[in-house]
Amino acid sequence: MSTESRPPLPPFTLETATQKVRLAEDGWNTRDPQRVSLAYSTDSRWRNRAEFAVGRAEIVAFLTRKWARELDYRLIKELWAFGGNRIAVRFAYEWHDDAQNWFRSYGNENWEFDEQGLMAVRHASINDRPIRESERLFHWPQGRRPDDHPGLSDLGL
């Protein structure tokens, strides 16, 4: 058993599940693979599109590749459902490639946490939609989404 702890801990309430989702969003918006990996158990199992990762080293490698391709990445997550040690979220993120082609990626994730609040299982399904730069909706400075920036439902996403 790990001595690491990542509050809030399961079983989740509406308040703690919402907090966990925002903490995950904040972490991913740092685009720091090492920092993000610390939210996952050392043996965490991922399915992300067609890629499967196991453990923090593979998660760091995955995220390093991801953010080398997905430039100016900005993410919003929203709680969809929760129960016990599981949370379901929906999300959207905007990014561009090295040719300045913009995309909005939409997806859903199912998360399962261990007793210490570390994510042990992550299943992600994601679709990319090309957008024009003028269609972008996520306009905050790189990093954490400001508290007053609209969420997915507020943006009609």
Per-residue pLDDT, averaged over 25-37, amounts to 98
Could you give the strand order of the β-sheet that contains 86-96, starting from the edge strand earlier in sequence? 51-54, 40-48, 119-131, 102-113, 86-96, 71-83
| Cα–Cα separations (whole angstroms), residue 138 to 18, 42, 96 | 20, 32, 12
| Residue 50: partners with Cβ closer than 8 Å, 6 or more residues away | none
pLDDT at 1 over 80: no
- Pick from 46, 66, 44: nearest CA to 55: 44
DSSP E strands: which ranges in 8-101? 40-48, 51-54, 71-83, 86-96
Q: Which domains does the chain have, with CATH numbers?
A: 14-135 (3.10.450.50)
Kindly report the pTM of this predicted structure: 0.96
**pLDDT per residue over 129-138, tens digit each?**
999 999 999 9
Percent of the chain with pLDDT over 70: 99
Looking at residue 3, what is its pLDDT? Answer: 75
pLDDT digits (tens, 9 = 90+) for 82-93: 999 999 999 999
pLDDT of residue 46: 97
Other C-beta atoms lying within 10 Å of the C-beta of residue 84: 10
Mean pLDDT of 115-127: 98
pLDDT of residue 60 exceeding 70, the answer is yes
pLDDT of residue 2: 56
